[in-house]
Amino acid sequence: MADGTDQRVTTQWFDGGFCNMHFQSTDHSRWRLKLGPGGSHAWKYLASDEENKAWPQTDIDRYWLGMALNLPPLPAPSNALDASRNGYTFLRNLQAPDGHFAGDFGGPMFLLPGVVIGSYITGASFTAEQRQEMIRWLLHVAHPDDGGWGIHVGGVTTVLGTVLNYASLRLLGVDAEHPAAVKARMTLLKLGGAAASPTWGKFWMTVLGCYEWEGINPIPPELWLLPGWVPVHPGRWWIHTRVVYLPMSYLYRVRFQAEPTALTLALRKEMYTTPYDSINWPAQCDNFAPGDVYVPHSRLLDYMNLFLKGTLEACPFPPLHKYAVDHAYELICMEDENTNYQDLAPVSKMMNMICRMHAEGRDSDAVARHAAGREDVMWLTRDGMLVTGTNGSQLWDTAFAAQALVETGLADIEENKASALKMLEWLDQAQMQENPKHFRTAYRQATKGAWAFSTKEQGYTLTDCTGEALKAVLYLQNRWHDSPKLISDARIFDSVDLLLSMQYTDGGFGSYEVPRAPKILESFNAAEVFGNTMVEVTYVECTTSVITALRTFQQYYPQYRKKQIDRTVAKAIKYLHAKQRPDGSWYGSWGICFTYAAMFALESLALVGETYASSPRVKRACEFLLSKQMPDGGWGGELEVLRRRDVRPTREISSGPDELGRDGAHVRQIPRYDAHQTRRRARAVAPVTGKFSLPYQPYFVPN
């Protein structure tokens, strides 16, 4: 069609009624996962028969595409160890040649729109096959009842999710009159239209040219000019908020909007309840659909917005604005260079890409490098192509696989040893051995000795990733008499030094950095849809990853900084004591929340001699977990637990091997007479895990 829409659409009937419209799948037998240096990956479509024949599809490709695998059947397990053996026999076939494990890291529904909108603005194209699979994904995860989208897969429909993903569908080529588009649009309009979107939605629509800057509360880059010791300086904010605010503030001050096109002009007509030209934009600044608001604006934030509108915005001072814009742009360039244009995550990456285009032009090297890096965050599944939360979860998955292999004894099986050594080789190259190129000037945490969540290239320290990777390295380098010592003592000491430097005053550990600002700064949270996002905080999971790493380190290096490590662990244990809830649980910020946090906490407490027999805290935690065991023997968890902060179950079956493996921690803490029934019920789940499949959709949900 004239506006570039794509008509390759079919309707399908499924059991249970009429499902959302379904774009035809591409030929999945022609897709290949190209694995590059350091753990990079990109899905490639081979259009010609010659290419297809020359590059055979692997079981890694087929697994993630939901296709039949060329693997022999495994023997039926009779116990948990047999199931584990079968599990790793299967998992070994999904290991990349360089030793890491690639996989899906999706979930949030604001990731793909950022890549689509940013690409449209900057002129970066997608292949026809990529477009087709992204459309399939969006239609697959649309709400079955109202056709809209939430903030994450499976979430209730919101204005933010619907406006971003509806616009993405249209930009990818879906016609406005396609039934799925009509259904989503009607839902969006019922909820108040794009004008009722939270700030993130207003921002993306503005830079696209489908909203106006007058309808957004101030996002001043001038904050970057404040002295670094001022608590509200963005350099003191939580890193994810900081790196998103940076390009947003640049684009806000230069009032960037993409040139209008026939398609964006059409979107102006489609997404609003009143004609676009009649909208009172200033009145929309605080117009947020009630269902989208997780954290309402504080009165302090409202006063600050009024103050900024009456000063910086009402009385512009061009020299100051230019200085702020120039400084913000310098920081944007530093972020790109520190991460080889990966940036912290896809949201900030695409915003940075727009900034670089605005300053240097579409044909600049910076825009080209950003465009090329998009494939690192585009992941193909059997249901279509999504965008991942970072450029993967390579380090996280590989570190836990290595630990499991050693702790179960499976590493000693000859056919597994080569796989284990490959993991060690990958962990060796993945460690960051120096601080960022732009370190203090870019407000970065030290990285020397650290591991990132995904790859070395991404370049961000994480305490839990560093702790888990350090444990994996120590296990593998000391498992056999001929274990290679790829990572030197000096590099191991670098990791320990880094972890010791990151403990906060409350005894806990944050994720990326030591907390830099008081919690009162949360009063300035302007995101509406997220809580606890303004400052770094300490986490039960991160703290326990560090505790277990330091205690494991002491087994092999008992004299290195012994007093400092003992003090650090003692403070961290007190933190865990303080964070335990009256019912015996701990609130977790990732994974399946309560059971996930309990696994970490109980392991840490056991390492300092606190057991079911000796510690009332541990006994209370074990009894809590026993009370939540499902009838089938496993444990479950749901996304809404994170928001509700309670553990009321809404289903009666476990979530499978993920929960079973994690909750084994509490079984080890319980005396035989108490654990017998728990183990007997858990064994019932073992045959399920023996068939072994990775959790298909590992989601992270901001709390």
Tokens of 152: 């994450």
DSSP assignment of 305-343 = HHHHIIIIITS--HHHHHHHHHHHHHHHHHHHHHTTT--
Alpha-carbon span 564 to 551, nearest angstrom: 12
DSSP assignment of 548-569 = HHHHHHHHH-TTTTHHHHHHHH
End-to-end distance of the chain based on CA atoms, in angstroms?
42
Closest-CA residue to 202 (of 116, 291, 138, 288): 288
Q: Where are the alpha helices (DSSP H) in 76-127?
A: 80-91, 111-122
For residue 613, what is the DSSP state?
T
DSSP assignment of 276-287 = GGG--GGGGTT-
CA distances (Å), origin 261, targets 1, 74, 256, 264, 342: 15, 57, 15, 5, 29
Q: Would you say how long the chain is, in residues?
A: 703
Measured at the CA of 554, the angle between CA 552 and CA 559, to 5 degrees, comes to: 170
Closest-CA residue to 445 (of 529, 360, 344): 344
* CA quadruple 602, 630, 90, 129: dihedral sign: negative
Q: Where are the alpha helices (DSSP H) in 92-158?
A: 111-122, 128-141
Residue 489 falls in the annotated catalytic set: no
Tokens of 256: 């960037």
Radius of gyration from C-alpha coordinates of the chain: 25
DSSP assignment of 35-74 = E-GGG-EEEEE--SHHHHHHSPPPHHHHHHTTPPP--PPP
Q: Which helix (H) or strand (E) holds 14?
A: strand 13-14
Tokens of 148: 């809209």
Tokens of 201: 């939605």
Q: Give the position of tokens 């695409």.
A: 350
Residue 371 corresponds to which amino acid? A
464, 494, 658, 663: the active-site residue: 464
Q: Which positions are catalytic?
A: 464
